[in-house]
């Protein structure tokens, strides 16, 4: 199917999907290069690309490379026409909305933020509507070329239906967010767990391009993990694959909001670190920033809190390496502001717990602002256009 059909999706013939996805994530690519990469004939590539060119999603660049030694005229690479369509992405947190407009190549064209004073579903949706309207009123072409909205938030999300089964920081249960946001905005809406959305963006447009398997671990209010295996984002049968924040690393550890005990998140999440820091210092109003400053200044009890947190995160990352065997692991999240306090214990714990050759899996540290998380929501929306 192509735009103008009932689905409004580019997904159709497998060859067309494969050609467009390859050009989008790895392009520009010549037809000969596409044929080699995809195992298709040149005629099949040309047939698959023709309607995408006619619809304005692909275009030919000036000839830059020859198809082989002694070949005739140079090949004309195919590239995505990035401004053919735009996508809104919104990251929902407990106290703020962060929004972006991205083009078809997931390049951010505009950003906006709105504070949240209430996490009631109606209040949040009203603010989402205002944020989206404001973004669409940036350059005029945005509104008439935008059909899709991606939303991301923490918790247990059914991507297929847009149902938020449980979001701990928003205190939501069984919220049909996709359906309600679509009615409000008139756009086609995708809803995804925020870590999985960020992973989708990294897979198609960032550190994970070209990797058959990789993992993205996020450190902050929650401890999350997105997984790509055999080139595809893994959700699992119940939509919660990769929840390393709820892997038990200390059976006698603190209670977790999930109902478990001794989870990585109950030791290394931001709220858990602040609670431990207040307990160890006897200062009930101590903030995270103050705890970080004191720990960097040599406060041994507080350094111990961050060391314990780093050990827990390292164990969680090792579990991912042992179970999935990714070619690389990217570590990100707002908690990286204090990464110097985590770094050594994370790496020591990871190397100790990773089995055999899994310990050689490289860890890449990649600080990302919340706008990148919103871009992740937009990336999921881009994928909904492209994939069946």
- pLDDT, residue 67, reads 47
Q: Where on the phi/psi map is residue 358: left (φ > 0), alpha (ψ -120 to 50), or beta?
A: alpha
Structure tokens at 9: 């999706």
- pLDDT, residue 1, reads 40
Entry pTM? 0.86
| pLDDT 10s digits, 191-211 | 999 999 999 999 999 888 888
SS3 assignment for 337-375: HHHHHHHHHHHHHHHHHCCHHHHHCCEEECCCCHHHHHH
Residues 383, 204 contacting (CB under 8 angstroms): yes
Bridge-based pairing of strands 58-60 and 78-80 is antiparallel
| pLDDT 10s digits, 287-308 | 999 999 999 999 999 999 999 9
Q: Which residues of the chain have pLDDT under 50?
A: 1-7, 67-68
- pLDDT, residue 8, reads 59
Distance (Å, rounded) from C-alpha 334 to C-alpha 169? 15
- pLDDT, residue 208, reads 84
Distance (Å, rounded) from C-alpha 72 to C-alpha 105? 31
**Domains assigned to the chain:** 14-80 (1.10.10.10), 85-200+372-386 (3.30.420.40), 210-365 (3.30.420.40)
φ and ψ at 69, to 5 degrees? Answer: -60, 130
Distance (Å, rounded) from C-alpha 51 to C-alpha 364? 39
Q: Among 115, 113, 114, 32, which residue's Cα sits nearest to residue 72?
A: 32
| 163-167: strand order across its sheet | 156-158, 163-167, 172-175
- pLDDT, residue 11, reads 57
């Amino acid at each position: 199917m192509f735009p103008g059909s009932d689905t409004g999706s580019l997904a159709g013939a497998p060859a067309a999907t494969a050609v467009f996805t390859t050009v989008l994530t790895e392009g520009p690519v010549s037809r000969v290069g596409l044929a080699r990469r995809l195992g298709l004939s040149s005629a099949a590539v040309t047939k698959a690309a023709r309607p995408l060119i006619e619809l304005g999603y692909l275009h030919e660049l000036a000839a830059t490379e020859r198809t082989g030694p002694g070949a005739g005229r140079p090949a004309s690479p195919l590239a995505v026409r990035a401004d053919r369509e735009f996508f809104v992405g919104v990251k929902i947190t407990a106290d703020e909305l962060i929004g972006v407009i991205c083009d078809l190549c997931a390049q951010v064209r505009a950003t906006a933020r709105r504070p949240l004073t209430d996490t009631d579903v109606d209040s949040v949706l009203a603010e989402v509507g205002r944020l989206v309207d404001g973004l669409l009123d940036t350059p005029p072409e945005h509104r008439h070329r935008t059909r899709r909205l991606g939303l991301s938030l923490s918790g247990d999300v059914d991507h297929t239906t847009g149902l938020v089964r449980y979001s701990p920081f928003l205190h939501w249960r069984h919220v049909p967010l996709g359906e309600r946001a679509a009615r409000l905005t008139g756009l086609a809406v995708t809803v995804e767990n925020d870590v999985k959305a960020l992973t989708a963006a990294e897979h198609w447009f960032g550190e994970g391009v070209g990797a058959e398997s990789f993992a993205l671990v996020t450190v902050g209010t929650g401890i999350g993990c997105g997984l790509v295996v055999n080139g595809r984002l893994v959700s699992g049968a119940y939509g919660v694959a990769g929840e390393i924040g709820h892997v038990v690393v200390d059976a006698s550890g603190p209670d977790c909001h999930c109902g478990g005990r001794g989870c990585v998140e109950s030791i290394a999440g931001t709220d858990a670190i602040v609670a431990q820091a207040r307990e160890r210092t006897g200062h009930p109003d101590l903030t995270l920033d103050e705890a970080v400053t004191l720990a960097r200044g040599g406060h041994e009890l507080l350094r111990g809190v961050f060391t314990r947190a780093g050990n827990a995160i390292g164990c969680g990352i090792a579990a991912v390496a042992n179970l999935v065997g990714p070619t690389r692991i990217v570590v990100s999240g707002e908690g990286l502001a204090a990464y110097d306090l985590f770094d050594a214990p994370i790496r020591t714990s990871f190397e100790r717990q990773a089995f055999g050759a899994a310990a050689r899996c490289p860890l890449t540290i990649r600080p990302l602002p919340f706008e990148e998380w919103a871009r992740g929501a937009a990336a999921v929306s881009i994928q909904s256009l492209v994939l069946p």
